[in-house]
Structure 1
């Protein structure tokens, strides 16, 4: 805050209108904020996917129209490999509903020999 006030005073001494610079900086800050919105959404969604353990690498899932095995889970994107070999890179912010076919899909086979 002190540096900002000092900078404004120095600019006024040199005859530079500080109001125009502040307005320009505000517009640039607003543009950067809107531009980073999807990035922040992807990172926050990725954080929740990882820490809530919604799905793991190797799980077979469906996200919207995409279905396949999870190759990687990052903070920004999740990569799915379909059975035909396509690699789908999905932004985590777009993953709103997941069907996980790998959860509770285990079968135990026990052989019991009777005399």
Structure 2
């Protein structure tokens, strides 16, 4: 659980840094815009200009390593990231339990078409 939480914090910190950097430039990007990649790409220097308070003083090196992951300079991280992006696809996620309303409606349409064809 700690490992998952740490990854989520890194992910959120990236979004926060991008938002702060562009806010200093006078441009506002929302979290959904940043996640969708609508904000222009940032360099290591851009990220290092908005170092979060937790990375001040003795943790700047750790933040620099995190930034290298974000900009694609770490080949191992980039390989895993690219693989995971390909695996996610764009077809939505698997649901457990109840069907979504969209799937339920699709199923009803197919059932009605089959019944109409049968009679």
Regarding TM over 0.5, the answer is no
Please identify which structure carries the higher strand content: 1
Greater relative contact order structure (CA < 8 Å, 6+ sep): 1
